[in-house]
Structure 1
Amino acid sequence: MLRGCSLWALLPPVYSVVTAAGLWLVYAVAVYHENVITLGAPYRKRNGTHYPPFISVAGNFPPASCIFSEVMTLAAFGGFVIAVLRYLQLRNRNIKPWLNVTSLVAFSAGCFGMTLVGNFQIFNMKMIHNVGTQMTFGLGTLFCWMQSYITLRVNLNNEGRKVAVARFLLSGAITVCIILKTYFFVMSQRTEGAQCQWSLVMFFLIFLSTFGIDFRHIRLQIVCSDRDADASQGPVTRLQTSDQL
């Protein structure tokens, strides 16, 4: 406990800060090695060098690609853990079970998409990389909207309505960034599209960090017990979450 709050509350903000720091490190390394231009510079094609600063492009060239792969793999694992904890927290709440299950499945698939983005560079395995990108952004955005609605409906500890407003605003910002990124990409405005992509990812990480508000009140228990002596199935292990009083 930390001042009456569960230590699980630290997981979402720490996850977001570490992931953001890792991505900006990838960008800094790519700029240092002159593989991409800076986010504020106009894009001009220069004989295959100085590409627009999209996240995937920055993470395409070594040594930044090594960092990018590690960051995305760890981010996928951490995001999956947050999604599972959120599912367990809401499992016995007064919402339709399919909403909770769909939210978990959507973000789990999105986390798998992160591993594809990180481990299949865009210039080498473009099709697989783009599939991972669509899974990450598409299913991640769906997760944000679903969790915003669930937050409003459940209203945990009478904080849900205030938190839901923030999450709806963040979900809207994420959606707008996706639309603008697509528009600028079609219009061949590469730098503006990259700026929208970076904004999209940062808004998404901010959204995930807000789960620290909900996780302040949960306690995670791992219960291991043996079945009756007549049974032959062996020990049983299960996860439980409960709100603190």
Structure 2
Amino acid sequence: MNMAAFLALVVAVLRFIQLKPKVLNPWLNISGLVALCLASFGMTLLGNFQLTNDEEIHNVGTSLTFGFGTLTCWIQAALTLKVNIRNEGRRVGIPRVILSAAITLCVVLYFILMAQDIHMYAARVQWGLVMCFLSYFGTLAVEFRHYRYEIVCSEYQENFLSFSESLSEASEYQTDQV
């Protein structure tokens, strides 16, 4: 779960960087980043606090993961349709809306079954929910294939650049290569 949380965090940052120059109102992009970061934090809680050891923290992690994960899916579906990267917005956006609806239905059904203490069926719904999340994140590959992300590593220098010099040097790179 910790590895999945870290990878979700990486996807959140890469998606934010990808959409940053294309979104007119950045609040939706920022809220998508924050929502996926909170869902990732919930995943770390799930992975580190098992249900049998600390039920309360585990349930908080479940709520964070499923709640903010669902919110992230709807935000990213809206951004996909709005930004329309390389005219693939509808082709990718419609399956994302369908998957977001399925995820929402599973989350609601999961919490209804848990409230009624029907744990066996809730566990099955939970696995279906996880599969829908994995399918959803798989759809991001369609838009990530158009971008190349690089990490630039350079040799240690004796004289450090000032903050403003390093910012001007960083601005020379395109935003999709940072």
TM-score using structure 1 length: 0.63
Instruction: Work out whether 1:161 is the aligned partner of 2:95.
Output: no
Indicate the residue corresponding to 1:242 in structure 2. Answer: 176
Indicate the residue corresponding to 1:189 in structure 2. Answer: 118
Indicate the residue corresponding to 2:53 in structure 1. Answer: 124
Supply the distance in 1 between the matched residues of 2:47 and 2:74 (Cα, whole angstroms).
25
Instruction: Work out whether 1:112 is the aligned partner of 2:46.
Output: no
Give 1:224 deviation, angstroms.
Answer: 7.0
Indicate the residue corresponding to 1:25 in structure 2. Answer: none
Give 1:106 deviation, angstroms.
Answer: 0.8
Instruction: Tell me: higher relative CO, structure 1 or 2? Use CA pairs within 8 A at least 6 residues apart.
Output: 1
Instruction: Work out whether 1:78 is the aligned partner of 2:7.
Output: yes
Instruction: Work out whether 1:147 is the aligned partner of 2:73.
Output: no
Aligned pairs for 1:1-245 (under 5 A) are 72-222=1-151, 232-233=162-163, 235=166, 238=170, 240-242=174-176
Supply the distance in 2 between the matched residues of 1:76 and 1:242 (Cα, whole angstroms).
23
Larger strand fraction of residues = 1
Q: How many residues align?
A: 170
Give 1:194 deviation, angstroms.
Answer: 1.2
Give 1:182 deviation, angstroms.
Answer: 2.0
Supply the distance in 1 between the matched residues of 2:57 and 2:23 (Cα, whole angstroms).
39
Q: List per-residue Cα deviations over 1:124-164 (Å, max 9, x = no partner).
A: 11221111111111000000000000000000000011111
Structure with the greater alpha carbon radius of gyration: 1
Supply the distance in 1 between the matched residues of 2:160 and 2:148 (Cα, whole angstroms).
32
Supply the distance in 2 between the matched residues of 1:129 and 1:195 (Cα, whole angstroms).
18
Give 1:94 deviation, angstroms.
Answer: 3.3
TM-score using structure 2 length: 0.86
Give 1:179 deviation, angstroms.
Answer: 1.4
Q: List per-residue Cα deviations over 1:55-113 (Å, max 9, x = no partner).
A: xxxxxxxxxxxxxxxxx000000110011100000000033101111100110111011
Percentage identity across paired residues of the two chains: 47
Supply the distance in 2 between the matched residues of 1:186 and 1:217 (Cα, whole angstroms).
44
Gaps of 5+ in 2: none
Supply the distance in 2 between the matched residues of 1:79 and 1:157 (Cα, whole angstroms).
24
Larger helix fraction of residues = 2
Instruction: State the AA in 2 paired with 1:171.
Output: S
Q: List per-residue Cα deviations over 1:156-187 (Å, max 9, x = no partner).
A: 00001111100000000001111111222233
